[in-house]
Amino acid sequence: MPGELRPPYLIGRAPAGGDGRVSVTADVAAGAIEVAVHGRWSPSLRLQAWTAVSKCFVEHPPAVLVDLHGLEDPLAASAPAWWTMGMTGVRMAPPVTVVVCLPPAARLAGRLNQLGARRYLPVYATMPRARDAVAARLPLTERVQARLAPEREAAGRACALVADACVAWRLTPLRAAAELIVTELVHNAVRHAGTGIVVTLSRRGAGVHLAVNDDDPRLPVPDPALREPGDGVHGLAAVHAAATAWGAMPTSTGKVVWAVVRAGRS
């Protein structure tokens, strides 16, 4: 089968080290991922932060918001790490904006400015300001969203949304895989969560990003025996086979399961 099969990434709270912790949540409304860093800066916390942001990059979101209000870094030793993350996002195709939130008077903010990071790493004083700025940058024509009731017809409505979006974005070669994935994710949400569902489709360059959000905080557990497409393959096995990358993460009200489909993966 053409294309590279990447493993699913279940992104949640990073393992706590001796000096701090990193948590990751999805902001469905803004279409971004939020990373919060807490504790004293150290090599172990740097590893946690880089691992979390790297997994966020796999999803290829429009933006990653890094909240550093809980970071203890009086000497601004972490500045090169955030600068590198910002540059990594800028160099992706399409780019991923990395935004840092921390007090303007913090020594770290001044150090980032000295590094010339402002162009590649926007800094905001608060998370609400950062969310508003990110949301304002998203092209309305490249992101569509629908709220669905947890009923049998939900998957069909989600498929119609995918079909219309793929045609409008001239990505019809991805339509079949995207429809299969959204069908399975919505079916799972109806069956296992039974709450209201939000389906979000975003164009990311020559690919499609699909996200299905519900109010059940339980993350899906992939079967170790996930297989390639074939007769009788359904659920997460079908998503695993059809997606370029996929995963799940918590939100403020539940969870979001996402998948990326790019050319070369059918």
On the question of pLDDT at 222 being above 70, the answer is: no
* pLDDT tens track for 241-265: 899 999 899 998 999 999 999 886 5
pLDDT tens by residue, 15-41: 444 578 999 998 877 778 999 999 999
Q: What domains lie within the chain, and their CATH numbers?
A: 9-137 (3.30.750.24), 141-261 (3.30.565.10)
Structure tokens at 129: 């300001």
Q: What is the DSSP string of 39-97?
A: EE--HHHHHHHHHHHHHHHHH--SEEEEEEEEEE-TT-TTHHHHHHHHHHHHTSSS--E
Give pLDDT, residue 234: 66
Instruction: Say what the pTM is.
Output: 0.78
Q: What is the pLDDT of residues 125-184, one digit of tens each?
A: 999 998 888 877 766 668 899 999 999 999 999 999 999 999 999 999 999 999 999 999
